[in-house]
Amino acid sequence: MVHPGPCARRGGAAVSDDALYVIHIAESIDLIEHYVSEGKQVFLGERKTQDAVLRNLQTLAESSQRLSAELKARYEDVDWAGIAGFRHVLVHDYLGVNLERVWEIIEGDLPELKRSIVSMREEFGV
């Protein structure tokens, strides 16, 4: 689900920019988990699945760059610089994307990020 612009209204209450981007990140993570639910071999073997995962990783990374410095400082355990660097690869060096490395990120880094995003959602009440 794509949400409207900054300070969108959700249930009658205004949603901050940070909350909106946290929602986008959470939705991207959920979609990625769904797309890779059949495992590594399906991911590596299906171009459509790769495209869907890479697109959502790009959305996730782009949304993470738009989070405020204050929010990022409260979640300093998240490798924000690494996410930004990965976004750069996805956007500008897409021919150099290593699918094995993407799978490692999905398996290793995404669950940790998801835990932080869940905490952020609880903080914002979204």
Which residues form the catalytic set?
A: 87, 92
| Total Cβ atoms within 10 A of residue 56 | 21
Task: Compute the half-sphere exposure of residue 112: CA atoms within 13 Å on the CB side of its CA.
Answer: 12
Nearest to 86 by CA among 116, 118, 59: 59
Angle at 126 between CA 124 and CA 56, to 5 degrees: 110
Length reported for the chain: 126
Cβ-Cβ contacts under 8 Å for 85 (sequence gap 6 or more):
none
